[in-house]
Amino acid sequence: MSKAPIAKRVPHSFTRHGVTIADPYAWLRDPSYPNVTEADVLDYLKAENAYFEAEMKPHQDLIDTIFAEMKGRIKDDESSVPQKDGDYVYWSAFDAGGQYPKWYRRLAKGGPDIVILDEPEMAKDHEFFRLGGHAVSPDGRLLAYAVDTNGSERYVLKVRDLDTGMDLPDVIENWRYGLVWAADSKSFLYTDADENWRSKTVWHHKLGEMQSADRIVYQESELEFSVSVGLTQSRAFAAISTGDSDTNEVRLIPTSDFTAEPVLISPRKPDRLYDVDEREGTLYIRVNDTHVNFRIVTAPVSAPGTWTELIAGDEHHYLLSLTSFENLLVIEERIDGLSQIRLRDYADGKDRYISFKEASYVAGLGNNPEYKVDRLRLSYQSMVTPSTVYDYHLADARLETLKVREIPSGYDASQYVTERLMAPARDGVMVPISIVYRKDFKKDGSGFLHIYAYGAYGFAYPPNFSANRLSLLDRGFACAIAHIRGGDDLGYRWYLDGKLDKRTNTFNDFVDVTRFLIDQGYAKAGHVTAAGGSAGGELMGAIVNQAPSLYGAVAAHVPFVDVLNTMLDDTLPLTPGEWSQWGNPITDKKAFDYIRSYSPYDNVTAQDYPALLITGGLNDPRVTYWEPAKWAAKLRATKTDNNTLLMKINMGAGHGGKSGRYTSLQESAEEYAFMLTQMGAVQPTIAPVSLT
């Protein structure tokens, strides 16, 4: 039997607000980060990886079986639905068995298919590869694209001449998620990552010039704020937004003249968020100034601060986004938590909604690049319905099915049942649950339950379809999504009620949902597995501290578990911008005490814990590798049980794990094998549904 590595303890402490905290695993943070070169640190991480491999090796047959199941549900030559943008139609497709797609286009009037980006060729010499984004110039001749080859999310952006297939000399280092072409296709705006991996500046790059010659268009000075750049649907303006998760402001600059002074829509005000689109000289603005669930106002481009209300805020209608096409306004919203798409006529102000048949689903706008439309590309799925692409024809209110995700190994939706339940939290609030199980699942406590959630940043975990999930459902599991506070599942207030000094609502909701489902007979205590990543990994750390006996196995991916130390370190990439989420423990003793009361790493105690699988990425700029490493080390030294504790650090990847569609599946198969072996549920309770 392999022996678990034991991290050394090195005396270290700090004092803040009169409180001294010992942290004997602080040495696991390499002082030269983001370069990790310390031998002791690397040796420990490698020892943990070796232990992971040794412990999982006896289960390799199961891992291979689950991987084969998951791979069998993926179409080898999967492709996207082509979409017209100007003179061309664009799409992506995998070669049979390929890890990465190729990107294509052809003339809309007909012609040969042309490969504009060959990801397999670009990735062939790299352990990790990710295409960060790409944008075709307005004249259709150039393609800007960005690549990350180590998971650090510091992309290199290049420009390709699509007529010759050759890259221009232009190279942008440290590009970060944002690019808008000028109308004449001779320059573009972009944002980059500074030395602290923060986006503070919008740059103007002229083709043919060096990056060092790029001109600053806007620079943000507030420590907590970051900058992004986007494009209005009309393509008349670039929108420069700067802010944090609570407060922002937007400036517009015409794509016809990037030398013009950006026009401020409305100065930043604390706890006010807004976004902007433009149509024919009128701005459409979604803003939460008078109602927590946002309202929509209009303003002339010539007087952007003069607002006229178009749609008032409402407790039941949570306005998520707006898109001002030339011929109609489209609003994505949730009504009492359910996805809705509202269409508004500019002339008469009348609304209509696109209707869907299922009681619980997630639907939204897909890729709709053009300004004037006669149909809308939509995406749709539910916990039993695979992802579906529709075109909604405006003239006759007709949904045309363009593609339903194919499950090559077979899938019969009629064999599975999905429900939406409401669980009482300890403070009386009712928490929604989306759950799916096989028709033959018995609610008598004899089965297993897998539950997952996120619960942060206002991200609503959708009741989506997962082909991987079938490997659990067919082995006697019910699978549940807990729509806990911290997400915005039931509106913006639902998000506010899970952040700052209400953060522990998120953790309590998850535990209370688990207890409710146990009481309803979905599983008994100890036969529940749970999983979450990033802030959802923080959730996993909190629930195993609070109620460890409920869970038999827990997977925490890139877990944000060292919350107090991270929020005290304003040199880390995300920390200043995160204070609006968690509080600033540097200056605020109340925030310090509250974070310390729930931070998973700080609250590890001498008690029995469930089996744990912890993952991380050495190059992760979001949740640094030492957070999972320190947590695993402290758990090993403190817990009182002999349950399995495994940690795996991807040495050549970042926040999203390994790249490539099959390589990432391998990691999913490892997670499921870990869960199943801990539950003793290795064999399917019934043969997986097959239509072949």
For 537, the 3-state DSSP assignment is helix
CA distance 550 to 169: 58
Q: Give the 3-state secondary structure of 596-646.
A: HHHCCHHHCCCCCCCEEEEEEECCCCCCCCHHHHHHHHHHHHHCCCCCCEE
Checking if the pLDDT of 692 tops 50, the result is no
CA distance 170 to 167: 8
- 685 — pLDDT class (breaks 50, 70, 90): low
- 689 — pLDDT class (breaks 50, 70, 90): very low
- Tens-digit pLDDT profile for residues 532-570: 999 999 999 999 999 999 999 999 999 999 999 999 999
User: Directed axis angle between helix 626-638 and helix 39-56, to 10°?
Assistant: 70
Residue 580 one-letter amino acid: S
Handedness of CA 288, 294, 300, 301 (dihedral sign): positive
Q: Using only C-alpha atoms, what is the Rg of the chain?
A: 25
The secondary structure of residue 512, as a DSSP letter, is: H
Residue with tokens 């970060």: 176
Q: Tell me, what's the pLDDT at 359?
A: 84
Q: Tell me, what's the pLDDT at 686?
A: 54
Minimum mean pLDDT range among 197-201, 315-319, 681-685:
681-685
Q: How far is CA 287 from CA 171, 342, 352, in A?
A: 37, 17, 22
Checking if the pLDDT of 371 tops 80, the result is yes
Average of per-residue pLDDT values in the chain:
95
Residues across the chain:
692
- The mean pLDDT of 168-181, rounded to a whole number, is 95
User: Would you state the structure tokens that stand for residue 676, as one six-digit string?
Assistant: 């199943």
Taking residue 401's Cβ as centre, other Cβ atoms within 10 Å add up to: 10
Tell me the domains of the chain and their CATH numbers.
Answer: 13-71+409-679 (3.40.50.1820), 77-118 (no CATH)
For 258, the 3-state DSSP assignment is coil
Known catalytic residues are: 534, 620, 655
- The mean pLDDT of 401-414, rounded to a whole number, is 96
Give the end-to-end CA distance of the chain in Å, rounded to a whole number: 42
Q: How far is CA 632 from CA 39, 48, 252, 541, 559, in A?
A: 19, 9, 47, 11, 11
CB 386 within 8 A of CB 364: no
- The mean pLDDT of 584-594, rounded to a whole number, is 98
Q: What is the reported pTM?
A: 0.94
Q: What percent of the chain has pLDDT over 90?
A: 92
CA distance 269 to 262: 19
- The mean pLDDT of 307-313, rounded to a whole number, is 98
Own/partner pairs, 125-133, CB within 8 angstroms, 24+ separation: 127/652, 127/653, 128/652, 128/653, 128/654, 128/658, 128/659, 129/100, 129/659, 129/660, 130/656, 130/659, 131/100, 132/175, 132/177, 133/177, 133/179
